[in-house]
């Protein structure tokens, strides 16, 4: 297995990191708050480590697990330290009242984040349609991915499979705005039609 770096130490970072650790990967936790990074690494056990915020992450795959409102700033602060890395953006650019997306028309959150990144960073959209607590429960789930870089997409697909998730390629990074809208729809479904947050999107392929 390999080392996967996670930038962030909140609820979604914890859920993703837990699933990764259970799959046998080594997790490197990176946070602006070293104490929070250490606390999450200790919770994960299984050889989890902490990294220095702004320094080059150990993992070739880096998961951006911070709120969308701060994601672009975080990526900009890392700068060239993310050069050559595959960056998985899991954010949903949802308005505070969860009634819409805050991204410009025709663009997605990950495309806006990537504007301030090192030219060598390769972005993939994934995990944003799976609620953290559902991901943490385990079980086979569908994971939609979008990216322009085919090699990065293939690596993320293999990684997702190692987590016992089923990667479903929806196309280029331009499709990320559709995945983010799907993330918003999942929130609306949980609040209204489903009446529960214990839901996941599944595709039946006949």
| Domain ranges within the chain, ordered by starting residue | 3-191
Largest Cα span, the chain:
48
The pLDDT of residue 85 is 98
**What's the 3-state SS for 96-123?**
CCCCCECCCCCCCHHHHHHCCCCCCCEE
Give the pLDDT of residue 46.
73
Q: Give the integer Cα–Cα distance in Å for 119 and 116.
A: 9
Instruction: Quote the pLDDT of residue 180.
Output: 98
- Are 201 and 181 in contact, with CB atoms under 8 Å apart? no
27: left (phi over 0), alpha (psi -120 to 50) or beta: beta
Question: In whole angstroms, what is the distance from residue 132 CA to residue 138 CA?
Answer: 11
State residue 45's pLDDT score.
72
Residue ranges for the chain with pLDDT beneath 50: none
| 76/141 Cα distance (integer angstroms) | 32
Reply yes or no on domain 3-191 having CATH 3.40.50.720.
yes
* pTM exceeding the 0.85 threshold for the entire prediction: yes
């Amino acid at each position: 297995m390999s080392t996967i770096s996670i930038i962030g130490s909140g609820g979604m970072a914890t859920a993703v990191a837990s699933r990764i650790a259970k799959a046998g990967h080594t997790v490197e936790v990176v946070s602006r708050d070293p104490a929070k990074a250490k606390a999450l690494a200790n919770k994960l056990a299984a050889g989890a480590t902490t990294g220095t915020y702004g320094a080059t992450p150990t993992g070739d795959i880096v998961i951006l697990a911070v709120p969308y409102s701060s994601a672009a700033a975080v990526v900009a602060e890392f700068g060239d330290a993310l050069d050559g890395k595959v960056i998985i953006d899991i954010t949903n650019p949802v308005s505070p009242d969860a009634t819409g997306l805050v991204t410009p028309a025709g663009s997605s959150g990950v495309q806006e984040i990537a504007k301030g990144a090192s030219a060598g960073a390769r972005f993939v959209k994934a995990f944003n349609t799976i609620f953290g607590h559902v991901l943490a429960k385990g079980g086979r789930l569908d994971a939609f991915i979008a990216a322009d870089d085919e090699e990065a997409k293939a690596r993320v697909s293999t990684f997702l499979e190692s987590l016992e998730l089923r990667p479903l390629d929806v196309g280029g990074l331009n499709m990320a705005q559709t995945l983010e809208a799907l993330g918003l729809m999942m929130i609306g479904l949980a609040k209204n039609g489903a009446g529960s947050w214990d839901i996941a999107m599944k595709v039946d392929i006949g």
